[in-house]
Structure formats: structure tokens, C-alpha cells
Chains A and B, each alone.
Chain A
């Protein structure tokens, strides 16, 4: 009993210092920046701060959001997955080709979706297998599979697009549930799920341990290889989920879907305070990260900046985020 009260005292003391350090955390700084960005954008365009526009942005950010969630796990282990955009393209094509009533397969839509998810999961599993079992660095592996999966998507699609899906398929990408876009509920569920897994389970702690010291984690009995394969597989699955939602949202499939998605996802994760060297980061940071990225894209589009201009800004934000973070850390290290 005495020990229990002792710990509560300790935790109360910790609480007050925790609140103080809380205000200086990257997530909070980001949240303030987001609010400032929202205010700025609201002044810039009267179309921005409308419920319609904001809910519509929610639709657009789901794909980046899903991929960024699984990317958080990978970056925390010190890895990277550049192939997510290509996996999305491949899965979208698979979904279209498997369903296409005029095509060779003409499967029911439900089966086509399952195959799409399976292919994405498999693509992620292959990444994980090569990285863990063959010992090829994640950067090299996923740079090569970036080309491989995109090439497969192009090879399967033969530059044809599939459209004309049945009406009920669009519920996921264009429908609403309780007044909120359907895919936002999906994103919300995955946000909660991944946040709980990362911060409240042994698996989540092991992910941080791998990122901090892989050899140490291995000696502590963490099945490093198996866990790494699991998160790359999960990344493939999330890219496939994003593909499903993407196809449902834009009502068509093309092989160039999702190209450049890796930049957005990595930018969101890094912006959210996850260290690119691994070992630290959080899901809540990533959530703020991808919301901020989407707000930025929307604001730029509303003020008439082209898509390529937007890519330039996202790239700059990615670099600036780390530059500022480095600066803050160096300051707090000195002080």
C-alpha cells in the first residue's frame, strides 16, 4: 500500500513538470502554427472557412493520412518507405482490372476490393522481407520497389483507365455518414487504433526501442525482424486502403495514381515531430502534420498556385520543419 501512495505522489510531481514541458512540445507548437495558418487562410479567401470546404478537405486528406499513420511506425524504427505511392497506384489498377465487367476477370466488386487489399499487403510484405531477410537498406529497397510497383501498375493497366463503377461503391469516397464524409470515419478509426498501438502496447514500445537502438532491442528479446516485416506489411495495407478510397472518390482508376504520395506522407510525419533518425515521434503529431499539409495545399490552391508550385512548397515545408526543429533542439540543449 505504501508503495502505491508513494508512486501517486511522484506522479503528481511529475504532472506539474509535465504540463510545463507539454507547452514546449513539437505537437503543441505545431497546433499553434496550424491555428495561425487557418486564421491566415481564412483572411485570404472567404471560401476557406466554410463547413463545405473544410469537410471537402477532410475527404482529400484521408489518403495521405492513412499512409502517414503507417509511415510513422516505419520512420520511428529508423526506416523509410518510398514505395507507398506506387503501391497505391498498383492497388488502384488491380481493383479496376479485377472488377472491370468488360475485362478478363469481371469479378464482383467486393472480391475485387479484397484482392486490392491483399495485393497491397503483399507488396508491403515483400518490402519488409527484402529489408529484413536480405539486409538491403530500406531506402534502396523501397526506391527499387517504387519503380517496380509503378511499372507493374503501368504494365497491368496498359494505359487504359477503368470507370463506371456501381453507385454504392461511391459511398466510401463520396458519401456521408452523420454529416461527415465516410472516409473521415475510416481515418478516425485508424488514427485511434494506431495511436493506441503505438503508445499503449508492448509492440508500440518495441517500435521505439528498435528505433533507439536496434541491437539493444534485439538483445532485450524484441523480435526485431518480425516486427519490422509487420510494419512494412501494414504500410502496404494502408496504401491499399488509400487506393480503395481514392478510386471511390475520383470514380476512375489510372496507373499514375498516388505518384508523389510518399513526399506528402513523409512530410506529414516529419512535420509532426517524428525524428527521421528513429526512436521518437507520435501519432498525434502525424495527425496534426497531415492536417497542416492539407490546409496548406488547400490554401495554395485557393490562392491560385499550380500543382507544381504546391509540390515546391511541400518540399520546402519538409526541409524547413526539420531545420526549425534542429534549431529549437539546439537552443533548448544550450539553455
Chain B
């Protein structure tokens, strides 16, 4: 136990146990679904996870600053619709520009959130609960019941989800999965090494101290929201590429998946701690559950949402209990050790142990 305590922090145990949970879940679904352990299943599920992961990375940036963005589902839907419409109108648009349109549009919606939260000083819950409804409402009005269909899309976009970056036997790493991984790694590096990344942690863990230090709080929160919106826009583009058909309800409920991924992945909802890799693991857990339930013939489509909600609740609740317990165990042992060393000179045995 002491050895474990020395080498691992509670957060790392959480990440390890998440990997165990993912393996157990996969094994369970393998017994329930025919041909589950096949390359085909991996290829399909990994694409869905990629979309959730990209949204979760953006959500992490915001949650680190002690805020939240509930409007991401609507941003994904709107960006998917908007970029689909743009592509339908200009089929010759360069692919890079099309992606930029989606990202830029998402960033714009994120900017509105950011201005209201950072400059308007309105609580994030209220702002994003409002914009969740506003963006979706404007989208419905804008779309006028028109649906973006696959036929309207240029061929490169339809073929995009099946482009592989790496093929190992039948297991394919699709371009969208690779993109999501690049996003996770880039933002993890940014969190670790860029001043902006460190500021996110500083503001989230102690806003008053951050203010006294002279950190640009408003600007940092604003940037977090813009980046979150931009990533949701990117996810919207991935959504468009994957499904081809976009209705006005596209991406609805993604905020739940993203927030759940972030919380399960160990990002503290009260800000100040968490990693992008944790969020990625959370996205894998949530995405695997969601997509596997979809493929279970025993589960009717009506019960699926209830089961997913239940799983998320169980995941979040058990996570809260276990991590709290682990932290207490660590703190207790830490306190005991420091108490002994301050009261009496450490014995040889203790020196060896420490």
C-alpha cells in the first residue's frame, strides 16, 4: 500500500481504473453483441469517440477556469449545418477552407458565450443554458425545416470518414480519430507548457490569487470559451463528414456526453485540475457505452437514453466517492508521516520507508 502511495497519485489511480473499466465494458459487450470484437466495430466506435473527444477537450479548457459550457451541443449542430450549407452552395470550396468555416463559426458562437461570461460577468450556467436554447432556436429558424443531405455534399467530404492514416491488419485508424488524437496531444502540451495553459489552472484553482498576481482573468476566460467554441465547430465539421445528413437536431445532447466525459475523466468541475488525457479517457468510456448500447439488439431504442443517463450517473457518483476516499487515505498517510517527522527525529526504518 505504501509503495502504491509513493508512486501513484489518486488521479493516476483514477486514470488506471478508467482503463480497467473500458476493458471490462468491452469484454461485457463482447459477450452480448455478435461480432463485437472485430475491426469493423473499432472503426465505427472510434469515429464517434473522436467527435466526443474533440468537444470534451474544449469543455476541459472552460471547466479548468471554473466555468462550464452547456451550449456545445447546439454549437456542434449549428456549425455542422452552417458548414454543410456553405459547401452545398460552393461545392468547389477548398477542404481546408471548409474546415476553417466550421471552426470560425464555432469560435464566433464561443466568443458570444465568452463575452457574456468574462465581460458581462454573468454566471456560466445561465449564459450557456440560455445560448444552448438560443443557438438551437436560431438554427431551427434559419434552417426552415430544410435538411442537409449527402447528395448536396462534394465527394471528398463523403469519402473523408473512410480515409485511413494507419492500417494494422483490419484495424484502421481513421483520419478523424487521428485528428482527435492530435487535438488532445496539442492541447495537453499547451496546458503544460504555454503560459495560457498555466493561467487556466491558476484562475480555476484560486481566482482571487490569480487576480492579485495580475493575471488577465477576463481575457483568459474569453480565450477558453473561444477555443471551446472553435473545437465544437471542428467537431461539427466531423459530424457533417461522418453523417452527411444534418437536421436541426444535430448534436443535441452532446453537452451531456462532453460534460460527462470531462467529469469522469477527472477534470475537477470546480476548476483548477485535470488533464486532456483524462478527458480523452472519459470520452472513450462515454463513447464506448453509447455506441455499444446502440448495437445491442436486446436494448430497445426507447430505453437506450435512460441506460446511458444511468451509466453516466453511476460513473460520476462512484467517481466522486472513490476519489474522495483515495484522497483521504493519501492525506491521512501523508499527515501521519509529516507529524512523526516533526515531533521526533525519523527512525532508520522510517527513513528507509520514505
Residues of chain A touching chain B, judged by Cβ–Cβ distance below 8 Å, are 80, 82, 130, 134-137, 139-141, 143-152, 154-155, 157-159, 260, 262-263, 266-267, 270, 276-277, 306, 308-312, 314-316, 318-319, 322-323, 326
Contacts and interface: CB of A to CB of B under 8 A. Distances in A.
Interface in B240-259: 253, 255-256, 259
B274 to A, nearest CB: 14
Contacts of A311: 133-134, 136-137
A229 B307 CA distance: 24
Nearest to B304: A151
Contact of A135 (B140, B253, B320): B320
Given A277-B123, A311-B136, A148 B300 contact: no
A145 B317 contact: no
Question: How would you classify the secondary structure of chain A's contact residues: helix, strand, loop or mixed?
Answer: helix
Nearest to B133: A315
B125 interface: yes
A262 B131 CA distance: 14
Contact of B320 (A136, A143, A157): A136
Given A148-B309, A155-B302, 19 more contacts: A139-B68, A141-B313, A141-B316, A144-B260, A146-B309, A147-B309, A148-B306, A148-B310, A148-B312, A150-B305, A154-B303, A276-B123, A308-B136, A308-B137, A308-B138, A308-B141, A312-B141, A316-B134, A326-B122
B141 A326 contact: no
B125 A139 contact: yes
Contact of A312 (B138, B259, B308): B138
B178 interface: no
A82 B255 CA distance: 13
B130 interface: yes
Interface of B: 68, 70, 116, 120-123, 125-127, 129-134, 136-138, 140-141, 253, 255-256, 259-260, 263, 269-270, 300, 302-310, 312-313, 316-317, 320-321, 324
B260 A139 contact: no
A140 B269 contact: yes
A312 B140 CA distance: 10
B303 A151 contact: yes
Contacts of A270: 126
A146 B302 CA distance: 15
Contacts of B123: 276-277, 322
Contacts of B136: 308, 311
A85 to B, nearest CB: 12
A218 B309 CA distance: 32
B256 A319 contact: no
Contact of B305 (A137, A154, A267): A154
B247 to A, nearest CB: 14
Contact of B137 (A143, A150, A315): A315
Given A151-B304, A152-B306, A312 B121 contact: no
Nearest to B253: A147
17 contacts: A82-B129, A134-B317, A135-B321, A135-B324, A137-B269, A147-B305, A147-B309, A148-B309, A155-B302, A157-B302, A158-B302, A263-B133, A276-B123, A309-B137, A315-B131, A323-B116, A323-B120
A147 to B, nearest CB: 3
Interface centre among B131, B137, B141 (most CB of A within 10 A): B137
Contacts of A314: 133
